[in-house]
């Protein structure tokens, strides 16, 4: 069973930065979409960013485009989300996920009707204060 472990969440002021990391227990990057989703209180979980199995291209939600950067280190089995210029609305629980693009609508994160079926971490809390 693949395990995903997130880290790096915390409390930061508006305009600040945080870097989230996701460590996978196995080398799954070449076969799965790897991405981040977030869920604010009383809101549905939404996609933030994802990287294709090839590692060449990424998908970034419009709400974070230009502020968040997604990268991966396959040798370290780590997915990293660098977040800058944080806003109050970025507050939420951030989840790392890995999924097979086949049957899951590809690696798309924006406008998804359903969450991908795959592996999920327990989440790490990001809180942005004014």
- CB-CB contact of 48 with 26 (8 Å): no
pLDDT tens digits for range 15-27: 999 999 999 999 9
pLDDT tens digits for range 85-126: 999 999 999 999 999 999 898 999 988 888 999 999 999 999
- Whole-number pLDDT of residue 67: 98
Confidence of residue 40 (pLDDT cuts 50, 70, 90): very high
């Amino acid at each position: 069973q693949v395990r995903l472990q997130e880290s790096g969440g915390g409390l930061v002021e508006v305009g600040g930065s945080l870097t989230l990391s996701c460590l996978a227990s196995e080398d799954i990057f070449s076969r799965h979409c790897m991405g981040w989703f977030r869920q604010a209180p009383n809101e549905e979980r939404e996609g933030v960013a994802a990287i294709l199995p090839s590692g060449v291209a990424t998908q970034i939600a419009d709400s974070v485009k230009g502020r968040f950067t997604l990268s991966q280190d396959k040798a370290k089995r780590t997915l990293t989300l660098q977040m800058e210029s944080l806003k109050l609305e970025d507050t939420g629980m951030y989840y790392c996920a890995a999924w097979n693009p086949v049957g899951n609508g590809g690696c798309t994160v924006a406008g998804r009707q359903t969450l991908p079926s795959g592996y999920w971490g327990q989440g790490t809390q990001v809180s942005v204060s004014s």
